[in-house]
Amino acid sequence: MTLKHMPRLFWSLLLLCPLSAYAAEGEGMPDKLEVTAGMSRTSQSLLHGVLVTYKSDPTLNITYETSKGFASVQNGVGVWLVRDEQLKAGVSVNYMMGRQEKADPRYAGMGRVAGSAMSYVWGEWQPIQDAVTLYGNVGSSWQSASGTLAQWGATIGFPVMGRVNGFVDVSRYWASQSYVQQYYGVTPSQRATSGYSVFTPRSAGTLYANAQIGLAIEVDRDTDLIAAYGTSTASGMLMGSPLLNQKSQAMSALVLNRRFH
């Protein structure tokens, strides 16, 4: 199976999943409220949308889960496909970031791209609980020109000392041809206003390969301080866009995570 066909297959499999068969699995788990807030250096900014030049901005995620569904900044509003201690997956309505011309000097003359609602599927599995987490998500914009964006990755945790644990996270971003065209392509009319050469992506493909290492410090039973640092490396396909002027950029995060019962 090629990456190009992954989103269509993903949606097709979900259409075959009977939601009612999974609903009862989460009924034994308590409701959950969790807040994560801090700063991160990222290309997906809550304040500025999609960026070419990574920027440090405030970050926030509020998650509320019940036996029937969930609502969060990260995963949108939706219902469970499955929910237990080691495996969670859901379908939701979420928001696909847009692009603000003023947010990044690399966008000068390129114009604005409006954000949009999207259909979203996500899941995470811990084959070794609290030590290995595999995750993935795919979102398809309700505006066909903005296409599909997907991410998958793995996090491995390990003890360091006392209340301090370490982790390593690796992930990939993939996008459809229409998404790459919308956010990284350059049309003839945009060439006239920006001075960039025309760039028309010919296929879908990987955007970035990310790798981070970090520490999670247990402040108390329900509070963790999390720090991470790493790099994000653009693919060869993406480096064909004249909007990009560097292949690798630093990523970082410093956040406080609080659980409420």
For 14-60, what is each residue's pLDDT tens digit? 333 333 333 444 456 899 999 999 999 999 999 999 999 999 999 99
Q: Which pLDDT does position 130 carry in this prediction? A: 84
Residue 75 lies in a domain: no
Per-residue tokens: 228: 């991470």
Residue 18 lies in a domain: no
Q: Which of 216, 227, 145 is nearest to 185 (CA)?
A: 145
In whole angstroms, give the CA distance from residue 191 to residue 88.
45
Q: How far is CA 123 from CA 14, 47, 88, in A?
A: 12, 25, 5
Mean model confidence pLDDT for the chain: 90
User: pLDDT tier at 10 (50, 70, 90 boundaries)?
Assistant: very low
Distance between CA atoms of 57 and 39, rounded to whole angstroms?
6
- 228 in a structural domain: yes
Let me know: does 93 contact 118? Beta carbons within 8 Å. yes
The whole-angstrom separation of Cα 210 and Cα 249 is 10
Q: Are 167 and 213 in contact (CB under 8 A)?
A: yes
In a domain, 140, yes or no: yes
* Cα 150 to Cα 95: distance, rounded to the nearest angstrom: 13
Q: How many domains, the chain?
A: 1
103 domain residue, yes or no: yes
Let me know if residue 107 belongs to a domain.
Answer: yes
Q: What are phi and psi of 147, to 5 degrees?
A: 65, -145
Say if 76 falls within a structural domain: no
- Interatomic CA distance for residues 249 and 201, integer angstroms: 22
Question: Which structural domain, as residue segments, surrounds residue 45?
Answer: 41-56+83-254
**pLDDT given for residue 245 in this prediction:** 96
Answer yes or no: is 260 within a domain. no
